[in-house]
Amino acid sequence: MKLILFLLLAISVAGCSTTPPHKSVADPDKKWEQRKTVLSGINHWVINGRLALINGDESWHMNLKWQRHGDMYVLDLSGPFGTGHTQLTGSKGNVLLVDAEQNYFYADSPDRLLQEVTGLQIPVKSLLYWINGIPDWNVKVDNQRLDAFGRLAELRQSDWNIRYKKYIYVKEHELPQKIFIDGFNLKVKIFIDEWELKDNVTSKDNLTKSGKDV
């Protein structure tokens, strides 16, 4: 159970392209403030990718599909060929986890739910920000480092270390493609094969529970 669960947490490329060569910017801090404002507004998307989870001597590799529309999200995790499918569905104050045996678990917080069910401390709520390449604005930033292009290269929040290893162009935006996260004896590597940015929606009917595109 522990192995299937995480992960959270949250690019083939429909809507993605390889990052073209570009020069460093004159003022990375100014560029970062501009990027942060824009990226904070991107909260309607679908991500397809893979993740590796290392917990002590144990390690697992999973496929992930993560859909987000504002405060609502559906995270699907599965092993090779769709085995061991687990789904985490959340909105404000309401989270549901369905495991591979079709057991249902409920809570008011995704972080609390995953810790209760798996025993793992996983920052799902912060991942909704980190996946965009920005800090969680609800949590104090302990440290951060920008690269020469005004992008977030390293971040430390709540005793988690986040390293952005690669970015990719998605339409006019540069979004993370490879993210390494470690803390609390966990190491997580997220590889995004596909980013798809969506128009703003207001109904949860736009989120599919089957893991198919919305």
The mean pLDDT values, 10 residues at a time, for the chain of 214 residues are 41 44 83 96 96 86 93 89 83 89 92 80 89 96 96 97 96 95 93 90 48 34
pLDDT at res. 82:
64
> Do 74 and 208 meet the contact criterion of CB atoms below 8 Å apart?
yes
pLDDT at res. 130:
97
What letters, b where the CB count within 10 A reaches 16 and e where it falls short, cover 28-38?
beebbeebbee
pLDDT at res. 209:
46
- Residue 213 domain-assigned (yes or no): no
- Residue 214 domain-assigned (yes or no): no
pLDDT at res. 118:
75
- Residue 38 domain-assigned (yes or no): yes
Q: What's 147's domain CATH number?
A: 2.50.20.10
Alpha-carbon span 94 to 85, nearest angstrom = 21
- Residue 212 domain-assigned (yes or no): no
| SS3 state at 83 | coil
The closest of 111, 148, 116, 115 to 127, measured between CA atoms, is: 111
pLDDT at res. 79:
82
For residue range 132-185, what is the model confidence (pLDDT) as tens digits?
999 999 999 999 999 999 999 999 999 999 999 999 999 889 999 999 999 998
Write out the residue range of the structural domain in which residue 156 sits: 2-19+26-201
pLDDT at res. 16:
52
pLDDT at res. 81:
59
pTM of the model: 0.83
Q: Position 161: which residue type?
A: N
Element holding 206 (H helix, E strand): none
- Residue 209 domain-assigned (yes or no): no
Look at the chain and report how many structural domains it folds into: 1
- Residue 10 domain-assigned (yes or no): yes
- Residue 108 domain-assigned (yes or no): yes
pLDDT at res. 84:
82
- Residue 30 domain-assigned (yes or no): yes
